[in-house]
Amino acid sequence: MSDSLTVGILYSRIRRDEKLLLEALRERDHDVRKIDVRKERFDIEKPPEAFEDVDVLIDRCLSTSRSLYITRFAESYGIPIVNSAETAQVCADKAHNSLALKEAGVPTPRTEVAFTKETALEIVESFGYPCVLKPVIGSWGRLMAKIDSRDAAEAIFEHKATLGHYEHKVFYIQEFVEKGGRDIRVVALDGEPVAAMVRSSDHWLTNAAKGAETAEFELDDRALELVKKASDAVGGGLLGVDLMETGDDYTVHEVNHNVEFKALDGVVEENVPARLVDWLEENYAEGEQ
């Protein structure tokens, strides 16, 4: 038996995912403290009262910028946080994410970044059509473009350069992967998969948030190896690893640090939130740190 944990859930919206986690923690009689980050003040000298005596904080902030600061503050206060500031930093930005995967030897789609629309157009022309343009920050498939022609590329870059704020002046361009109409989402704890699903759609975006169909997926040895490597590449923790099938191998397009697991929990046998709680107990109970 593990001791009861005091777990601080940092949030600004309780999604279905947070609710599942809260329920699983309460079921095992852990002391759960919901901390609305919109109401907290973060002093560089000392932690807010809400952080007192917590064994571990879980960053469930929907907002990437909040997440980046909170993880950093928590570490400065010496309070364990899932995930770490380093992980948030890498995963928050698609360019950092791609670099980390590349550096770790994880296959990832060919990607280039440029800072002006003229240079972005050069990249697109050299990649050929179709190719993919993604905002470096953002999620749920929003503002992603599949570029089918030079005309389309020019129009999209013009719009971004004119209308977007500064992050949109970073052009992140990726080869289009023929992924067979689906991609794979794995929820992993320090590189150990909890469960995996495929997300299929006729649309090129197969995010669950975009309404893709989901089904449980059995990971083979190669996929297991890549999930572990991808997790290590961003510092481990509670992660969502996204892979596409390329025919003879996989390519990892990103690792999410604030992973949503409600869709996965809905399709797999495994009780995903219960596994998260097991992992918290193993790693953060008294004397386990």
Partner 1 sequence: MTDDSETVVATDPVTGEEIDVPADVEVGEIIDSPITGAELEVVAVDPITLEEAPELEEDWGE
Beta strands of 67-217 (E only): which ranges?
81-82, 111-114, 131-134, 145-147, 171-175, 182-189, 192-200, 213-216
Give me the residue label for tokens 């022609």.
149
Contact call for residues 204 and 238 (beta carbons, < 8 A): no
Binding mask 229-258 for partner 1 (x = CB under 8 A): -----------x---------------xxx
Residue span binding ligand ATP (CB under 6 A) among the ranges 65-73, 148-156, 252-260, 262-270: 252-260
H or E stretch including 228? Answer: helix 221-233
H or E stretch including 111? Answer: strand 111-114
Dump the DSSP string for 232-267.
HHTT-SEEEEEEEE-SSSEEEEEEESS---HHHHHH
Does the footprint of ligand ATP cover residue 129 (CB under 6 A)? no
The token pair at 114 is: 């440029």
In the complex, what is the shortest distance from the CB of residue 271 to ligand ATP, in angstroms, rounded to a whole number? Answer: 22
Does the footprint of ligand ATP cover residue 139 (CB under 6 A)? yes
Residue 253 burial by Cβ neighbours in a 10 Å radius (0-12, 13-18, 19+)? buried
Query: How far, in Å, CA of 281 to CA of 23, rounded?
Result: 15
132 binds, among ligand ATP, partner 1, none (CB under 5 to 8 A by kind): ligand ATP
State which of positions 57-96 bind partner 1 (CB under 8 A). 62-65
The token pair at 60 is: 């469930």
Binding mask 95-124 for ligand ATP (x = CB under 6 A): --------------x---------------
- Angle of CA points 284, 287, 289, to nearest 5°: 50
Q: Which one of 3, 43, 142, 203 is in contact with partner 1 (CB under 8 A)?
A: 142
Q: Which one of 196, 259, 272, 277 is in contact with partner 1 (CB under 8 A)?
A: 259
Residue span binding partner 1 (CB under 8 A) among the ranges 40-48, 119-127, 137-145, 224-232: 137-145
Q: Report the interface residues with partner 1, using CB under 8 A.
A: 11-15, 18-19, 22, 34, 36, 62-65, 135, 137-140, 142-143, 240, 256-260
Residues of this chain that bind ligand ATP (CB under 6 A): 109, 132, 134, 138-141, 144, 174, 176-177, 179, 183, 204-207, 209, 242, 253-254, 256
